[in-house]
Structure 1
Amino acid sequence: MSRHTFQFGSATIDYELQFLDRKTLGITVTPEMSVIVSAPIGTAIPKIESRLTKRAPWILKSISYFMAFHPKTPNRKYISGETHLYLGRQYLLKIILGEEESVKLKGKHLIVNTIKTINARPLIENWYLSQAKNKLHSIALPLIEKFKKHKVAPTSIELRNMPKRWGSCTAKGKIILNPELIKAPKGSIEYVITHELCHLIHHDHTQKFFDLQSKEMKDWEKWKTKLETLLA
């Protein structure tokens, strides 16, 4: 594959071009926001870019769509007074030095009891992971039950740190969720899980996929926007 760019208004769009033994030109936007063009052998570049220009609004919309699945949570400091997210709400971090090592929510505070301040970060990260293991599965269960009417169910649900994805669905039906989702509102978590459950039925982002997603979660765009803005 060779790399190319073309201009559409003020946007510069990069794409990877491959020539294949096929009759028509295909354009794919991957979840990693790469644009891949598969063209019949011998197709002229001007003809390819003419087609790309016509499809540019769809390409940019698809890139924007997948951007919601790219975690961009800002770095947080692990000192008293800093805010940390949990299920879409901001909590003030309060570090208390003592003999105990624990993390808990109390009112508007995330309270960390620790022997040394330097221990606050690993304590909080472990707490987030523990919460993710419990909460993400409990949020997923009713959605999985709901999808049984389509005669589908994930083979398993796994948590995995993914720098570029909020969730994914494997060819064998395993749904993988990023534990960082525990920082997002419940509705945004439901949106990501619903999105992956839809992939058990429609593997690609076709119109049928989006129709199903809208049918199963009418306000998914609202929660997608919250995910983009709150964790951006």
Structure 2
Amino acid sequence: MLQFSYGDEQITFERLPRSEGIQRVLIKVHPDCRIEVAAPTQADDNEVLAAVKKRGRWIYQQLRDFRQQSAYVTPRQYISGESHYYLGKQYLLKVLEDPNATQQVKLLRGKLEVTLRQKSAEKVQQLLSDWYKARAKEVFAKRLDAMLEQALWVAERPSLSILTMQTQWGSCSPQGRLTLNPHLVKAPRECIDYVILHELCHLAEHNHSERFYRLLSQVMPSWERVKARLDARAGYYVLA
């Protein structure tokens, strides 16, 4: 772990290796305020620190924004009246108790309606979690097909799985398997498309190299704006 001071903040980050020949230092601030810095293996710690300090103002702002999000995101109680997200829109939660009903979740008339036999916050949470995962599987498959039309470097449709992650929206395995976070289905479609395209670019460029970002910019010129939009709401989608 390396650290430096910016204003009244002591900023600590984890250094990760990058492939040889890549000079760019990549800085990532996660919603939980962890900071990861991928740097060339040949660079010494002082060089990496100097590069990160140049982005000190941006890092400080990211940390402040994520902390503000966390302060406003109250823990879910899974009761009627709460707001929950789906495809970037807010829906009011309505919990209905019916001893004879089928336990289910329905999206209708601006509400997420959860019906269960006996009211229980844990059961409401479980039903919603299962509903989000089912919707995510369906939505992600459709958006993957749409994005593959732009990803001309992909020869065949990669396999897709759903996995709840706290610090990643998606990942791409060395074997070309895409994994997406079901929480992502709470974000707008363009954010979903960005994450899918990001992972598809890894099928061509396995590291965050200059060529990787060049490819991503070709297929989604607005990716930085979309990423910023997603990052700004991450606390609401993941923590809530």
User: What band does the TM-score fall into relative to the shorter chain?
Assistant: 0.7 to 0.9
Q: Which residue of 1 aligns with 2:174?
A: 171
Q: Write the deviation string for residues 123-181 of structure 1: whole angstroms up to 9, x where unpaired.
A: 1111111111111111111112321x224445311111112211011111111111111
3-state DSSP class of the match of 1:135? helix
State the structure with more CA Rg: 1
* Letter of the 2:84 counterpart: H
How many angstroms does 1:230 deviate by?
2.2
Q: Which residue of 2 aligns with 1:57?
A: 54
Q: Write the deviation string for residues 6-34 of structure 1: whole angstroms up to 9, x where unpaired.
A: 3456664435679xxx9xx9966579743
Aligned partner (choices 4, 8, 14) of residue 6 of structure 1: 4
3-state DSSP class of the match of 2:149? helix
Identity of aligned residues (%): 31
Separation (CA, whole Å) in 1 of partners of 2:196 and 2:180: 8
> Quick check: 1:222 aligned with 2:225?
yes
Q: Structure 1's 145 and 95: CA in aligned 2 closer, same or farther, altered over 3 A?
A: same
How many angstroms does 1:62 deviate by?
8.8
Conservation of the 8 A alpha-carbon contact between 1:154 and 1:200: no
Q: Write the deviation string for residues 60-85 of structure 1: whole angstroms up to 9, x where unpaired.
A: 86996xx99xxx88643310000010
How many angstroms does 1:222 deviate by?
2.4
Q: Structure 1's 34 and 54: CA in aligned 2 closer, same or farther, altered over 3 A?
A: closer
Q: Write the deviation string for residues 158-214 of structure 1: whole angstroms up to 9, x where unpaired.
A: 111112211011111111111111111111000100111111111111222111111
Separation (CA, whole Å) in 2 of partners of 1:109 and 1:189: 22
> Quick check: 1:89 aligned with 2:92?
no
Q: Which residue of 1 aligns with 2:115?
A: 113
Conservation of the 8 A alpha-carbon contact between 1:152 and 1:200: no
How many residues align? The count is 214
Unaligned runs of at least 5 residues, structure 1? none
3-state DSSP class of the match of 1:90? strand
TM-score computed with the length of structure 2 as normaliser: 0.74
